[in-house]
Amino acid sequence: MKTTYREAIRAAIRDALQRDDRVFLMGEDVGAYGGCFAVSLGLFEEFGPERIRDTPLSESGFVGAGIGAALGGMRPIVEIMTVNFSLLALDQIVNNAATLLHMSGGQFNVPLVIRMTTGAGRQLGAQHSHSLEGWYAHIPGLRILAAATLEDARGMLWTALQDPDPVLIFEHGTLYNMPGELDDDAGPVDITAAAIRRPGTDVSLITYGGTLPAVLDAAGQLSAEGVDAEVLDLRVLRPLDEAAVLATVARTHRAVVVDEGWRSGSLSAEISARITEASFYDLDAPVGRVCSAEIPLPYAKSQELAALPSVERIVRAAREAVGRSG
């Protein structure tokens, strides 16, 4: 069937609500308004205010309520409008949800799912264009997912709801309108492993989330130049599928990591370090990185696009890795 990334997520939420009476959605404007990005449009009318719950504009409050509901046996889906607003709930996410199992000696699980929009490219200014997935991937006790395809947008949620511990799902804002075909019987997917989106032999392009379309476009352009690029979609940012990363490097002997986060202290830095630690002798070239410029993201469209990873920059980095210029 034809659908979009947004509709696939909505179908996943509807499916979860139908499967399990303990599941409910809560967040700012998710109810009568239908969600800031129209993901929950129509669900309030279908399931009512008890299961599609509008919350006050207080991330610390409603994320904390979600943690309490999870401890009480419910299966809450908490929607934080954008990742920058999640900073208002860092104490709840990092100091409570992520640590309660450990600090209770294994007595209290927190089966909480938090969804949030991430990324730039929509002219929303510096304070609404963060890509902070790497921050959360730093925290033990959390599982961090980045859905980059329709299948993952549709399938990651139900699997995440089965996890006894907190799961954060990042949805890149530029993907919501992405159209495509999805099987009529599409359902839950694995949330433990990376996925090869394009096999190749000359260079590994390693990425996740909203940069996957640009990386696939770059791989197509490289193919026309005679460079066979393999594309690895990380999908799961914590725990990182290190085996998949090392396996692709072993096949191609070159790697470029594409990460919309800032270069300093980024997820790309972690991946580069792991490759260097474990696969140094497999490398025929230094690991390349394509990240966002080290600046607050500009509002002006031309400047914003110039600051973000682009097809041109990815192609250039891949050419450098294989020893080609141009």
> How far, in Å, are 23, 196, 215 from residue 76 at the CA level?
5, 31, 34
Q: Which is catalytic among the residues 7, 28, 79, 128? A: 128
The number of beta carbons lying within 10 Å of the beta carbon of residue 283 is 17
Q: Determine the Cα–Cα distance for residues 325 and 323; give it in Å rounded to an integer.
A: 7
User: Side chain identity at 144, as an amino acid letter?
Assistant: I
User: Side chain identity at 122, as an amino acid letter?
Assistant: R
Q: Determine the Cα–Cα distance for residues 179 and 2; give it in Å rounded to an integer.
A: 7
- Reading phi first (left if > 0) and then psi (alpha if -120 to 50, else beta), residue 106 is in left
Beta strand 23-27 with 52-54 is parallel
> How far, in Å, are 70, 71, 90, 116, 141 from residue 101 at the CA level?
12, 10, 17, 23, 8
Q: Which is catalytic among the residues 59, 79, 133, 230? A: 59
Report the SS3 class of residue 256: strand
Q: What is the DSSP secondary-structure string of 45-72? A: HHH-TTTEEE--S-HHHHHHHHHHHHHT
Q: Is 128 a catalytic residue?
A: yes
Q: Are 235 and 208 in contact, with CB atoms under 8 Å apart?
A: yes
Catalytic residues: 59, 128
